[in-house]
């Protein structure tokens, strides 16, 4: 009971309630929250400290950045979700906060889009930070070696490389990307390779322009660290997977290379195993044991999971 009372006391203040509402929408930094609410960082930091101590918010550090989000588990998380779900949608202060949050998201998206436009032509070279790409590609192919894959989706397809390496193993492969410049490069690559079973679509990973349960496999190859809402992107991938279909994510393990955020538009500096596995379970995906490909300075991890409702394909 004390935990519930502490959470209620922590939220019983206008600024804190607004902070909880925003952190339920997105993972945000202290700077972003201060900008949205128009208050000083020290004051916002104090309120966030109270909410974290009450178990309503989770705080995690990546390099020099600290992110806040609505807590996932515990009495504080339950109280926070309960209250946020019952706030009036037409409240003026909350409506203004949501509008400013959308401004923050647009600024993030614009920065990422500018980066992709500038680098579309030499994307393969930029990706070679650590583990050789042939090792990552081989490991990804091995994940699906025992699966019957007719329809494959590559989310954030970039230059279409995943479509190229899977093309001879599937009946149909579709690559989705938000950058039209990237899609132009991918289209040229696929046409040059004569891959007629591969298609491209313009779309957002958080709102895939595809029918539910229409793919046997979904791949995220070095794209999740750009996502504003990575958990939401995985949930959307789970939506388009058929029961028994497999999700595979290849991305960086946690690291502290700040220049990737500053110079290459990375939103996240890698992901911890339990974080990805928790998101998979929340999306009704049964995760396998992660595979770590150690590199210097960066390690690439492969996470895979199978959508519940089909025959078990779990790997040791």
Q: Which domains does the chain have, with CATH numbers?
A: 2-87 (1.10.10.10), 123-307 (3.40.50.150)
Q: What is the dihedral sign for C-alpha 157, 161, 162, 167? A: positive
pLDDT tens digits for 184-209? 788 878 878 889 899 888 899 999 99
pLDDT band at 128 (very low <50, low <70, confident <90, very high): low
End-to-end CA distance of the chain: 41
pLDDT band at 115 (very low <50, low <70, confident <90, very high): low
**pLDDT the model gives residue 152:** 97
**pLDDT the model gives residue 314:** 45
**pLDDT the model gives residue 214:** 96
Of 267, 259, 268, 315, give the one whose Cα is nearest residue 287: 315
Residue with tokens 């500053």: 262
For the segment 255-267, the average pLDDT, to the nearest whole number, is 83
pLDDT tens digits for 307-316? 987 544 444 4
Q: Decide if pLDDT at 21 tops 90.
A: yes
% of residues, the chain, pLDDT over 70? 90
Q: How remote is the C-alpha of 31 from its chain's centroid? A: 21
Rounded distance, CA 101 to CA 107, Å? Answer: 10
**pLDDT, greater one: 108 or 11:** 11
Average confidence score pLDDT of the chain: 88
pLDDT tens digits for 137-173? 999 999 999 889 999 999 999 889 999 999 999 999 9
CB 37 within 8 A of CB 17: no
For the segment 239-257, the average pLDDT, to the nearest whole number, is 95
Tokens matching residue 48: 């966030």
**pLDDT the model gives residue 315:** 46
Q: Decide if pLDDT at 73 tops 70.
A: yes
Rounded distance, CA 149 to CA 246, Å? Answer: 9
**pLDDT the model gives residue 121:** 55
**pLDDT, greater one: 69 or 127:** 69
**pLDDT the model gives residue 57:** 94
pTM exceeding 0.85: no
pLDDT tens digits for 23-34? 998 878 899 999
Q: Report DSSP letters for the chain, one per residue.
A: -HHHHHHHHHH-SHHHHHHHHHHHHS-EEHHHHHHHHT--HHHHHHHHHHHHHTTSEEEEEETTEEEEEE-SSSHHHHHHHHHHHTS-TT-HHHHHHHHHHHHHHHHHHHHHHHHHHHHGGGHHHHT-SSS-HHHHHHHHHHHTTTS--SEEEEET-TTTHHHHHHGGG-SEEEEEES-HHHHHHHHHHHHHHT-TTEEEEE-BTTB-SS-TT-EEEEEEES-GGG-SSHHHHHHHHHHHEEEEEEEEEEEEPS---HHHHHHH--SSS---HHHHHHHHHHTTEEE---EEE--SS--EEEEEEEETTS------
219 beta partners: 154, 248
Residue with tokens 């290849």: 250
Rounded distance, CA 173 to CA 67, Å? Answer: 35
For the segment 276-282, the average pLDDT, to the nearest whole number, is 96
């Amino acid at each position: 009971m004390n935990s519930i009372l502490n959470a209620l006391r922590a939220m019983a203040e206008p600024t804190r309630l607004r902070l909880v509402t925003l952190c339920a929408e997105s993972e945000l930094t202290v700077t972003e929250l201060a900008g949205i609410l128009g208050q000083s960082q020290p004051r916002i930091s104090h309120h966030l400290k109270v909410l974290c101590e009450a178990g309503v918010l989770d705080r995690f550090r990546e390099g020099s950045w600290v992110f806040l989000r609505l807590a996932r588990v515990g009495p504080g998380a339950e109280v926070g979700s309960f209250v946020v779900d019952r706030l009036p949608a037409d409240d003026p202060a909350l409506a203004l906060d949501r509008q400013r949050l959308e401004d923050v998201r647009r600024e993030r998206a614009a920065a990422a889009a500018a980066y992709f436009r500038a680098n579309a032509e030499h994307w393969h070279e930029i990706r070679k930070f650590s583990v050789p790409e042939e090792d990552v590609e081989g490991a990804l192919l091995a994940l699906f070696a025992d699966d019957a894959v007719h329809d494959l989706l590559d989310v954030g397809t970039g230059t279409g490389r995943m479509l190229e390496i899977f093309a001879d193993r599937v009946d149909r492969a579709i690559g989705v990307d938000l950058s039209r410049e990237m899609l132009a490069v991918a289209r040229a690559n696929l046409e040059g390779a004569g891959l007629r079973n591969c298609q491209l679509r313009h779309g957002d990973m958080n709102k895939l322009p595809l029918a539910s349960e229409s793919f046997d496999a979904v791949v995220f190859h070095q794209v999740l660290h750009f996502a504003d809402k990575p958990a939401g992107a995985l949930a959307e991938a789970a939506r388009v997977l058929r029961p028994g279909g497999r999700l595979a994510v290849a991305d960086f393990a946690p690291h502290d290379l700040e220049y990737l955020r500053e110079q290459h538009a990375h939103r996240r500096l890698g992901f911890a195993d339990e974080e990805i596995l928790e998101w998979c379970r929340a999306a009704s995906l049964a995760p396998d044991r992660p595979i770590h490909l150690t590199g210097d300075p960066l390690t690439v991890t492969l996470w895979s999971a199978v959508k519940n409702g089909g025959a078990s394909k779990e790997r040791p």
